[in-house]
Amino acid sequence: MIRAFLLDLDDTLLINDMETFSPHYYRALLQKMRGVCPPGAFVEALNRGVRAMWHNDGRQGTNAEVFSRDFYRHLDRDPEEIEPILYEFYAQEFDQLSQHTKADPMARELVTLLKERGYQIAITTQPLFPRIAIEARLRWAGVPDDEFSYDLITSFENSRACKPRTAYFEGVLKHLGRRAPETIMVGDSLEADMPAGRMGLYTFWVDRRRLPNDQQVRFDAQGDLDDLYHLIETGAINEL
């Protein structure tokens, strides 16, 4: 019996192709930081910090701690100088990037149904961003945390690994107090989300009408959010 839903965010609840979004994000961030440090040095430090998070296996601390160690070491700036500017960026300029995304009207209906049915809901987006940036994207998707009060939102502050590492999913299950067969991972990424099935979680691939590009990846069901809504509404979700 499924008791908890693990919902990815980008291109799952929110229509947001990160390959399209990322250049706009980097451009806005560099514009914010240009008066503080050279763009080249900032990008190099940022990329090193992100790579460190990707390689975090759960034993190096939180992703935020791992990021900060590499980022500030290579940037050669004090955190006290940089962190207030970064926070201001996410609190103000970041919201302008919503124009490069689109809300899926079924996202709100889906989350509302899950709440009505009493399921636990975890927002299991890739934890490379701070919490404030993830909360912004939930607002863009029409499913803000201040309205739905999720049981968990993975961010770089509270996660010790990234998808699809086992340590990431183990951390989510531990937080929710659930066993793998009581949960389902819902996401658009065959590479990051669907490997949860290897740990015994059920999986639903949000295919956005695409064909799988890797026949080795397995999932229990696929479709769009409307298809998932129907599975939950009819109770067929427990027949996967």
* Among 171, 203, 179, residue whose Cα is nearest residue 190: 203
- Looking from the CA of 59 toward its CB, the CA atoms found within 13 Å total 1
What are the residue ranges spanned by the domains of the chain? 4-16+102-239, 19-98
Q: Is the pLDDT of residue 215 over 90?
A: no
pTM of the model: 0.96
* Among 163, 165, 170, 166, residue whose Cα is nearest residue 186: 163
Torsion of CA 125, 129, 130, 133, to 10 degrees: -80
Q: Is the pLDDT of residue 121 over 70?
A: yes
User: What per-residue confidence (pLDDT) applies to 209?
Assistant: 80
Q: Is the pLDDT of residue 211 over 80?
A: no
Residue that is written with structure tokens 């960026």 in the block: 89
Alpha-carbon gap, residue 189 to 213, rounded angstroms? 11
What is the second-level CATH architecture of the domain 4-16+102-239?
Answer: 3-Layer(aba) Sandwich (3.40)
User: What per-residue confidence (pLDDT) applies to 197?
Assistant: 97
Q: Is residue 56 a contact partner of residue 160, using CB atoms and an 8 Å limit?
A: yes
**pLDDT per residue over 39-48, tens digit each?**
999 999 999 9
**Neighbouring C-beta atoms of residue 163, cutoff 10 Å:** 24
Alpha-carbon gap, residue 165 to 188, rounded angstroms? 16
* Confidence grade of residue 210 (pLDDT, cut at 50, 70, 90): confident
**pLDDT per residue over 9-41, tens digit each?**
999 999 999 999 999 999 999 999 998 899 999
* Confidence grade of residue 52 (pLDDT, cut at 50, 70, 90): very high
